[in-house]
Structure 1
């Protein structure tokens, strides 16, 4: 059955009706719809990824990871449909997910958040990230628009198209550097091109998001990566020699030498009348040296999040996630085959569950 929304034709199962446009981006269009079988409202993302290898690998990553994840603070996949259903005819991918009311980017555009909201949202981001990191996955693109929120303030992390397995066999040095995280939320080690990077890049992004919730605007809105690093160092001050030991790039070290005399700005000057525990957590999230940056487990246990902290209700993944190999260099035809295999496997599992 075909439905036209915002100039796009949706050729999907006729159990979905009442289509409404939500938004669109480089990777596709998102609409809301109603599932006639359950009466639930859902979000349906249509992508046409097979013309570009990059889009194709993002789609594969997202499907592969989200089908293996199950967590209250991570968006789920309810259904996947392909048009057409064979390798040669595959054109569109439809991913059906829970419908959320807004995202943090839109919310911050329209209102200031209360201290309670900031605390609760920060907790939920970290709770979801604990699960992601326990699966040995780096999200790599945490930002307000990738944090979905509903009217009861439940938060879900979405968009895993840039996610990676955190594995010593996969040297992330230089891989997709310019694509990792919207610039304003990028950890300094990504831009300084250190030897690989780790889970701490996601922790930095959480710090940037938390700061933005307090300020109502981004903390480090760099115009380009040099400007981005300059803004970071203007706040954090000159890193010590010990805090630069992880940097192997001579150009990066020479760049940092220009900031030798920069004094650190106290967080209390930037965030006046803000809870001292909140500023202490922010300081630990936005630590320049990734080796000293707080872990997600320690962040959850921080005094600022005490109202919500419950290690008995902060689940982790059953086992580490792994790709059989990273997929950067796979041709589109191979990626198409992998997507088809994932969808067929998903449909078989669902069929078994309903029988």
Structure 2
């Protein structure tokens, strides 16, 4: 029974109990009064009514305390009973039934409304650490939520690259008819860029270059498959203390050709939304991911978010105030008519002075930032152009330009109800076991590893040299305009310590506030 229903029943029973207790008290006084006046006979009706009130009091007491007992035992809605009432030992027994002896669970590192994430050791993979996400049956309460998990599984299985979080396994019950929960096993990382930025540690330009190049490389691969990530934020860029980086969380990703569901679901955190999204443009492209990464570059350079809007209208105000008023032609090319009219009424804002905002950044870094944060998506730098930018010249490998994945097809129109989605997840898990990752196939003839960089977690030791002499690494020349730059400075991350999975919590999308301002108000 739902907690709110129990609380309502408790309230009604308590009121009824209070009424009957009052009646009993009143008649008890009456009886005492009669006895004191030596009234020997009490009317039969009074005795019957008194007996009835006493019975009601007993029943109400029983049901009230029973309801209180249930209310205290039931978990809150944020932690479903299917996960909240299970211990780590329960999870271990459950997963041993699906993969006997393979995974040793260590501790829970995240929890949400629809599941938990557990740090574990994979005994069949050299005792490597993994993140195991248990998805509860509550995910099947809504088709949109179930599709999000299906989309993430299919995309993680489609890509197999070191800069994209990897899907290592999917465990589902063998009997499809009893398919209520399942496990997703992924790579585990030490922290994410959000935590790095919050830690307040000083990042050199060499660190920023390496983070940015890896993120661009991952986006290049994602876009090559015709997929828009749509949720590029610092929290979805996972890193290790040796500077390895992986993009995660594909639950909001869409095919570039699919433009039929704009604003029917959540699209990235407001601060990282491209102008075309803020202005309610019904058509957008992979360039929204470039804008999101440009916002992150600005945050890495200045240690604070660039566009901290409070609502949709205020977000557009922040963007225009910082990057300046676009030309009339650029305004007319983006967004709804109401949003275009709103910008034109605001008055002119001067072009940005990036040098004043980021005095320690190199000219090359500021030039790339300016090109990524262009109002008109058609004039915004592409991912491939950004990879070839002079700011990243020492890291750019021409072989990365030719990595392309087979076009990805969501085929979500085939899944019209929960049963269809559940069946698709089950089939996808079977396919993964048969084929393994990289179902999308790399269709490039030249594939190389991502470049390495001198990054260490030990402050007392100099950074090790890359084992591959052809892999570029940051030099003083690439960061000579940064007062804090030091090629041997280690990246010391104040990490959570438990590791970060591709998605630590499994929550509903956070939609726009219902009272959010509109441009036509």
TM normalised by structure 1 equals 0.91
Aligned partner of 2:422 in structure 1 is: 336
Of residues 260, 265, 271 in structure 2, which corresponds to 1:184? 271
How many Å separate the matches in 1 of 2:278 and 2:335?
Answer: 12
The aligned counterpart of 2:133 is 45
Q: Which residue of the partner structure matches residue 46 of structure 2? A: none
Residues 215-271 of structure 1, C-alpha deviations (whole Å, 9 max, x = no match)? 212111111111111111110111111112323522111211232222223111211
Residue 95 of structure 1 is aligned with which of 177, 184, 190? 184
**Partner Cα distance (2:401, 2:244) in 1:** 15
Structure 1 contact 131–315 (Cα < 8 Å) conserved: no
1:1-355 matched pairs, under 5 angstroms: 9=91, 11-12=94-95, 13=99, 14-38=101-125, 39-48=127-136, 49-82=139-172, 84-110=173-199, 111-167=201-257, 170-172=258-260, 174-176=262-264, 179-247=266-334, 249-314=336-401, 316-326=403-413, 330-350=416-436
Contact preservation (8 Å) 2:255, 2:408: yes
Q: Distance in 1 between the 2:181 and 2:396 partners?
A: 42
Q: TM-score, normalised by structure 2?
A: 0.63
Q: Deviations over 1:34-91 (max 9, x none)?
A: 0112211111122222122222011000011111111110011111112x34343222
Q: In the TM superposition, what is the alpha-carbon distance from 1:27 to its structure 2 partner?
A: 4.9
Contact 1:75 1:158 in 2 (8 A): yes
Of stretches 134-143 and 49-58 in structure 1, the one that deviates more from structure 2 is 49-58
How much is the aligned-residue C-alpha RMSD, in angstroms? 2.2
Asked whether the equivalents of residues 302 and 358 of structure 2 are also in contact (C-alpha less than 8 Å), the reply is yes
**SS of corresponding position for 1:31:** strand
Q: CA offsets, 1:255-293, max 9 Å, x none?
A: 112322222231112112211100100001110001101
Which secondary structure does the structure 1 equivalent of 2:320 belong to? helix
Take 1:26 and 1:283, find their aligned partners in 2: how far apart are those partners? 40
SS of the residue aligned with 1:258? helix
Distance change >3 Å, CA 256–CA 194, structure 1 → 2: same
User: CA 1:290–1:326 in structure 2 vs 1: closer, same or farther (change >3 Å)?
Assistant: farther
Q: Counterpart of 2:480?
A: none
Q: CA 1:260 to 1:326, structure 2 compared with 1: closer, same or farther past 3 Å?
A: farther
In 1, the alpha carbon distance for the partners of 2:303 and 2:219 equals: 23
Q: Offset at 1:305?
A: 0.5
Aligned residues of 1:208 and 1:219 also touching (Cα < 8 A): yes
Distance 1:27 1:264, change over 3 A: farther
Residues 326 and 154 (structure 1 numbering): CA distance in 2 closer, same or farther, change over 3 Å?
farther
Larger radius of gyration: 2
Q: Distance between the aligned counterparts of 1:346 and 1:108, measured in 2?
A: 36
* Counterpart Cα distance in 1 of 2:413 and 2:393: 38
Measure, in 2, the Cα distance between the counterparts of 1:204 and 1:237: 15
Partner of 2:464: none
Structure 1 residues 6 and 238 mapped into 2: Cα distance closer, same or farther (>3 Å)? farther
Distance (whole Å) between structure 2 residues aligned to residue 5 and residue 209 of structure 1:
38
Q: Which moved more, 1:86-95 or 1:143-152?
A: 86-95
Please state whether the residue corresponding to 1:100 is helix, strand or coil.
Answer: coil
Contact 2:130 2:188 (8 Å CA) reproduced? yes
1: CA distance between counterparts of 2:370 and 2:272? Answer: 15
The aligned length equals 344
Equivalent residues of 2:384, 2:401 under 8 A apart: no
Say if 2:116 and 2:133, in contact at 8 Å, map to a contact too: yes
> Where does structure 2 lack aligned partners over 5 or more consecutive residues?
1-82, 437-521
**Residue segments in structure 1 that go unaligned for 5+ positions in a row:** 351-355
| Counterpart in the other structure of 2:73 | none
Q: CA deviation at 1:325?
A: 4.3
C-alpha distance in 1 between matches for 2:331 and 2:371: 17
* In 2: Cα distance, 1:248 partner to 1:115 partner: 35
CA distance in structure 1 between the aligned counterparts of 2:171 and 2:350, rounded to whole angstroms: 55
Instruction: Verify the 8 A CA contact 2:115 2:134 in the aligned structure 1.
Output: yes
